[in-house]
A and B are shown apart, each in its own frame.
Chain A
């Protein structure tokens, strides 16, 4: 049996994925070391979200393997990947709109609790105690994110920026080892982006490793420990933020894309 002996938390090895005629990812390999924030940047259509979907188990890669905590996770269903400690947010927010903010975050505790059908129906003392613990922990997470005053609000009624924050809080509630954030700053105003940046730092301090896809360059450059650049499905370069900013290839990719990215923001 092959061993994935490495000090990386996540290791993506030669992963490719095609959709019909589109080669969304081609031979992408990289590692994420624990405790760091790794930024992923690249023009629209570079394959960033596809990469997240592959890691999260939405669909398998055509070629390549993904290792997490020295387990192969390629081919696992999303819920199984989540159970191993990977949480995510989506590029377009996916909240449970008819549930309250507190309930949304309580769903985030799913992998950290275990009451099943029988325990729920019989309302066993264990089930009750667990339910109280889930609610208490979700309340703490809401406090941490400054969302406590929205606890009883229906998630569907919230302003856009708050919705994004709830989705972030819901993912953090599962206390994952690895958190995938797909363009968390998209659509946020300057104040909200600043708050997001400090929340990501807070999450890092909780010991959660973060993989961050982001178009907001100042955010991603300031907060990331390392950066990976994707372009047209391929890895262009990987390195420290200051080296990436100066890299001529990166500059030319982004200059060529200048109109696109400025119209997108």
Chain B
């Protein structure tokens, strides 16, 4: 019973390896870049799946959290602290090894904050903002909640465009590689493609395990209860507003984490990465994946993002995502890639085969 839970995980890991090996053998490693990005986007979708599919809420603002993660990470890791190297705080950070001495491409010395510290900082800021936004906004339901979270996304986008250190319309570039351990760094360098594919895979798998553990627990049950009937959930002692808030914050952390890693992977972040159509895209991915089906969302996240990054739809990309959202809502509000659909279809097929064999 317990072991069966890990079968989809094992299948997923094997698939990831098979894809990488096939792509590399075919000499098409450039596919790995888009695949890696797709894995990061799938991580964001998994977090949103907890909030939407399990807690039964909606967020049209998760590109905002993605942006907070990516931008904070980018700003912190690209600010040269050399002019402040004698300030007490900078000296202290340097002495405990949280600063990195490097050189620009022109050979000038620079002093950067370690990406690890930046990551911690980015996630803490995300958590803080998610709490601040979540407390008032989660009193709303349905379309009102959708509108309010959309508003949050607009605010983040406007700030990023208007506040100078965030680079305005150009965004930020030159985000350095993130050395996770010596020799293994998150970066978009061509010779590090395979390694980075697996870095993204490991992060996604960690996210999946966190999500799976959560949904198969007392907390996950409480979230589904809130989704099913909020007043009944409250009458059974579930602090509905707290559970919704914590799940919102957790899903924001997933989005920010994706943002932090992608900022290093792409070495850049720009306003077009965090506009509201990106939030619509996340919602579409979760909807296609089956709302409360983590594996469905993982596969829909990877596949849809990959298709989009391959520019299959060219300039109609946004229309594609808006359209699938409409189609899902109209024809299959519980999503397409549901495990139970696969199971039912397999069951029917098996029954038919049995009948044919008997008849």
Contacts and interface: CB of A to CB of B under 8 A. Distances in A.
Interface string B224-249: 11011101111111111000001000
Contact of A110 (B229, B238, B246): B238
A108 B217 contact: no
B115 interface: no
A82 B237 contact: yes
A123 B220 CA distance: 12
Contact of B217 (A82, A90, A131): A131
Contacts of A170: 236
A98 B231 CA distance: 16
Interface string A48-74: 000000001010000000000000000
Contacts of A174: 236-237
A24 to B, nearest CB: 18
B217 A120 contact: yes
Nearest to A78: B234
A119 B219 CA distance: 9
A88 B235 contact: yes
A98 B228 contact: yes
Interface string A69-91: 00000000111001100011010
Interface in A5-55: none
Contacts of A99: 221, 224-225, 228
A56 B239 CA distance: 14
Contacts of A56: 235
In order of increasing CB-CB distance, the 3 nearest A-B pairs are A96-B228, A120-B217, A111-B237
A78 B237 CA distance: 7
Contacts of A94: 229, 231-232
Nearest to A88: B235
Contacts of A183: none
B237 A90 contact: no
A127 B216 CA distance: 11
A79 B246 contact: no
Contacts of A123: 213, 217
B357 interface: no
A107 B229 contact: no
A19 B356 CA distance: 65
A107 B221 contact: yes
A106 interface: yes
Contacts of A98: 224, 227-228
B343 interface: no
A103 interface: yes
Interface in A92-122: 94-99, 103, 106-108, 110-111, 113, 115-117, 119-122
Main secondary structure of the interface of B (DSSP, over half): helix
A122 B217 CA distance: 10
Contacts, number: 99
A87 B235 contact: yes
Given A96-B228, A120-B214, A122-B213, A103 B221 contact: yes
Given A117-B246, A120-B213, A121-B213, A95 B218 contact: no
Main secondary structure of the interface of A (DSSP, over half): helix
Given A90-B231, A96-B229, 6 more contacts: A82-B234, A94-B232, A98-B224, A98-B228, A120-B214, A120-B219
Q: For this complex, into which size category does the number of interface residues on chain B fall?
A: 20 to 34
Interface in B231-286: 231-240, 246, 250
Given A96-B232, A107-B222, A121-B210, A79 B237 contact: yes
A64 B220 CA distance: 38
A95 B217 contact: no
Interface of A: 56, 58, 77-79, 82-83, 87-88, 90, 94-99, 103, 106-108, 110-111, 113, 115-117, 119-123, 127, 130-131, 134, 170-171, 174
B218 A108 contact: no
Contacts of B222: 107, 110
A117 B234 contact: no
Given A90-B232, A95-B232, A96-B228, A117 B237 contact: no
B141 to A, nearest CB: 16
Contacts of A117: 214, 219, 246, 250
Of the candidates A77, A108, A121, the one having the most CB atoms from chain B within 10 angstroms of its own CB is: A121
Interface in B21-72: none
Contact of A79 (B218, B220, B224, B238): B238
Contacts of B214: 117, 120-121
B225 A96 contact: yes
Contacts of B233: 96, 107
Contacts of B237: 79, 82-83, 110-111, 174
Contacts of A111: 236-237
Given A108-B236, A121-B210, A123-B213, A113 B218 contact: yes
A106 B219 CA distance: 11
B163 to A, nearest CB: 33
A127 B221 CA distance: 13
Nearest to B242: A79
Of the candidates A58, A97, A103, A110, the one having the most CB atoms from chain B within 10 angstroms of its own CB is: A110
Given A96-B228, A98-B228, A122-B213, A115 B235 contact: no
B158 to A, nearest CB: 32
A115 B234 contact: no
Given A117-B250, A174-B237, A130 B218 contact: yes
A120 B250 CA distance: 13
A50 B238 CA distance: 21
Of the candidates B217, B234, B237, the one having the most CB atoms from chain A within 10 angstroms of its own CB is: B237
Interface string B203-223: 000000010011001111110
